[in-house]
Structure 1
Amino acid sequence: MLLMEKVALLNRQNETFALAMIIESKGSTPRHVGKMIVYRDGSIEGTVGGGLAEHYIIQESVKAIQVGKSKIVEYKLNKHAKDGIQMNCGGTLRVFIEVYTSRPELVLAGAGHLAQALSRLADSLEYPYCIVDDRIGYATKERFPNATDLFINEDIGVAMLAANLNEKSYVIIVTKDRDDIVLKTALQFPIAYVGMVASKRKTITIFEKLKNEGVTEDQLEQVHSPIGLEIGAETTGEIAISIIGEIIKLTKETKPTKVKQLTS
């Protein structure tokens, strides 16, 4: 597989990585053109010339991935030059490090009207999403044509377990009457975010129930409820916008903190 084909594949798979590309080369350098994929652990595919310069570029790429920002780096390949690195080539090398960050993977727990509105926004933002519900007639491909998966089970907790929740998962709970089960199940995994559409009274009731079942206060403090940005949302579409807006805000401000898992 060609390197740029691999980049396209990784992007479709919603992976996080960096692509380092030589954008300018002056004088004597190991290579004048080159591309290299760098993963979060520092492993690579391709090359920008090898040697010490490539080693530094890998380090800078990993740092760029960690902060989620692309950048340009420049190296003087001359150990005698001011700010030069320990190489004898003598030329200069400029490299663009483009960071590909994974998009939030939405887990819409509940397949009602709000979930449909959320799915349409997810489509426009190219956010992958799956549907979890206990009702066969609601969680369908006709209603959610672009869902990556539909997880349906009469026991919605079993359906949630099948959703393979991970550190990219943003769980939005909009069930008919199974919020407590979904929330408790979600907290068993190192998810990025969990939010629940519920009134203040309903939230208190669910939290008290879960605390009696072993969920800690520390766990529950990480749950976003009420969910969404304060924009005075009233309609289903407006509420969906406020929820997606909150997720966008969190992903732009800082890397999401994994929800702490249940210990039992």
Structure 2
Amino acid sequence: MKSLFQEAIMLLKEKKSFSFATIINQDGSAPRSAGSKMLILPERIVETIGGGAMEADVIRQARESVYTNHEPIIKFYDLSPNEAANSGFICGGNCEVLIAYIDGQNSNNLKVFTEAQKAEIEGKKAWFVYVVNISENAIHPFQLCLSVKGEGLIGDFYGSEKFRENLIFNPIRIAIHGETQDGVRYIVDPIHTGGTMYLFGGGHVSLEVAKLAKRLEFRVVVIDDREEYANAKRFEDCEAVVIDDFNHIPEFSINGNSYILIITRGHLHDKTVLSWALSKEPFYIGMIGSLSKRDTIYQKLEEVGYEKKCLEKVHSPIGLAIGAETPAEIAISIMAEIIKERTKKE
């Protein structure tokens, strides 16, 4: 299954148009949070903004109105209990959804989605910019841009110079407060990225970790020297890399948004992979195993020159102490720790 950005890029390369729905505001309990997105085509949808009656109405609006007349809609949904009986929206909060037409003939849209995917993969700070003018006979009813920290504004922008500067240098302020000027609404939507997880070892625990990580919007890369363990069929929606041996690890793009998990079979290659990982600068390194196994590996690495303070950065034994025993339970403990550390970073 392709990611939403991959699907959008594929469609735009084929010059196919689609409707793009985003939750731009959310208060209280709602099916999904602000920033959730979906693509809507006449024959199918990609991703979800929560399902149920709200999503069904968004899809109807997209197909019957937006996809036909190309004008954006901002729809408010009251999901409070008072409205539940009449609307079918039973979550208890409310939200606003932007439904916009993305023209497949406009090369600007392909450029914006391509750069958005790049920012997501590389962990760059980036924000979608939606400029919505729903006044009658508006020349530019909807504009789509991307603001990337340190790189400026990507895409065509027809608006005031004041807002252009804000969108380049201070998009967070607009994201928090929202801005409207002369009937034009400027909406800033941060691109959330779970990061890239590098799973060394394709065994039972890694399989369970990968399932959870994908649900938490991580890009997952599985590395093993056994093709029967590192393959797309076993690790659905993940990238599988088969290496000759763990002494020759490829040059992956490790950065501050990377998570390295060392779970090789029988701990056979854990020391080798940990040595490699310590030469990189990921956000997180975790290694599975007992305290005694960890201490043995650390001792051997110290003997060849690794400093103790460097080893103290490693999360080992990996995962929160919740009494996990099965591969699924261990995976939950691992992902719980990663969520905790990621939240600290954010």
Shorter chain as denominator, the TM-score bin is 0.7 to 0.9
Shift of 1:157: 3.0
Please tell me whether residue 9 in structure 1 is matched to residue 9 in structure 2: no
Q: Which residue of 1 aligns with 2:131?
A: 22
Where in structure 2 are there 5+ consecutive unaligned residues? 1-105
Could you tell which deviates more after superposition, 129-138 or 107-116? 129-138
Shift of 1:7: 4.3
Residue in structure 2 matching 1:169, options 237, 250, 258: 258
Could you tell which deviates more after superposition, 2-11 or 116-125? 2-11
Distance (Å, rounded) in 1 between the aligned partners of 2:219 and 2:227: 21
Q: Which residue of 2 aligns with 1:107?
A: 198
Distance (Å, rounded) in 2 between the aligned partners of 1:11 and 1:235: 38
Which deviations, in whole Å up to 9, do the C-alpha atoms of 1:62-83 show, x marking residues without a partner? Answer: x57xxxx94234377xxxxxxx
Q: Which residue of 1 aligns with 2:169?
A: 59
Given that 1:74 and 1:92 are in contact with CA atoms closer than 8 Å, whether structure 2 keeps it comes out as no
For the residue of structure 1 that corresponds to 2:242, the secondary structure is strand
Given that 1:72 and 1:95 are in contact with CA atoms closer than 8 Å, whether structure 2 keeps it comes out as no
Given that 1:119 and 1:144 are in contact with CA atoms closer than 8 Å, whether structure 2 keeps it comes out as yes
Please tell me whether residue 157 in structure 1 is matched to residue 266 in structure 2: no
Which deviations, in whole Å up to 9, do the C-alpha atoms of 1:198-235 show, x marking residues without a partner? Answer: 10111111111111122122211110112112322221
Distance (Å, rounded) in 1 between the aligned partners of 2:133 and 2:116: 25
Distance (Å, rounded) in 2 between the aligned partners of 1:41 and 1:254: 20
Residue type at the aligned position of 2:205: L
Distance (Å, rounded) in 2 between the aligned partners of 1:31 and 1:144: 44
For the residue of structure 2 that corresponds to 1:132, the secondary structure is strand
| Structure 1 segment 233-248 matched on structure 2, within 5 A | 233-248=324-339
Residue in structure 1 matching 2:305, options 214, 217, 233: 214
Given that 2:263 and 2:288 are in contact with CA atoms closer than 8 Å, whether structure 1 keeps it comes out as yes
Q: Which residue of 1 aligns with 2:271?
A: 180
Shift of 1:44: 1.3
* Shift in CA distance, 138/148, structure 1 to aligned 2, threshold 3 Å: closer
Given that 1:75 and 1:94 are in contact with CA atoms closer than 8 Å, whether structure 2 keeps it comes out as yes
Distance (Å, rounded) in 2 between the aligned partners of 1:4 and 1:249: 35
Distance (Å, rounded) in 1 between the aligned partners of 2:108 and 2:342: 28
Q: Which residue of 2 aligns with 1:72?
A: 177
Distance (Å, rounded) in 2 between the aligned partners of 1:58 and 1:12: 19
Residue type at the aligned position of 1:52: K
Given that 2:153 and 2:167 are in contact with CA atoms closer than 8 Å, whether structure 1 keeps it comes out as no
Residue in structure 2 matching 1:123, options 202, 206, 214: 214
Shift of 1:195: 0.3
For the residue of structure 2 that corresponds to 1:195, the secondary structure is strand
* Shift in CA distance, 102/10, structure 1 to aligned 2, threshold 3 Å: farther
Distance (Å, rounded) in 2 between the aligned partners of 1:215 and 1:18: 39
For the residue of structure 2 that corresponds to 1:119, the secondary structure is helix
* Shift in CA distance, 198/207, structure 1 to aligned 2, threshold 3 Å: same
Given that 1:130 and 1:147 are in contact with CA atoms closer than 8 Å, whether structure 2 keeps it comes out as yes
Given that 1:36 and 1:48 are in contact with CA atoms closer than 8 Å, whether structure 2 keeps it comes out as no
Given that 1:73 and 1:96 are in contact with CA atoms closer than 8 Å, whether structure 2 keeps it comes out as yes
Q: Which of structures 1 and 2 has the larger relative contact order (alpha carbons within 8 angstroms, sep 6+)?
A: 1
* Shift in CA distance, 56/141, structure 1 to aligned 2, threshold 3 Å: closer
Given that 2:232 and 2:239 are in contact with CA atoms closer than 8 Å, whether structure 1 keeps it comes out as no
Shift of 1:244: 1.4
For the residue of structure 2 that corresponds to 1:121, the secondary structure is helix
Given that 2:196 and 2:219 are in contact with CA atoms closer than 8 Å, whether structure 1 keeps it comes out as yes
Shift of 1:119: 1.7
RMSD: 2.8
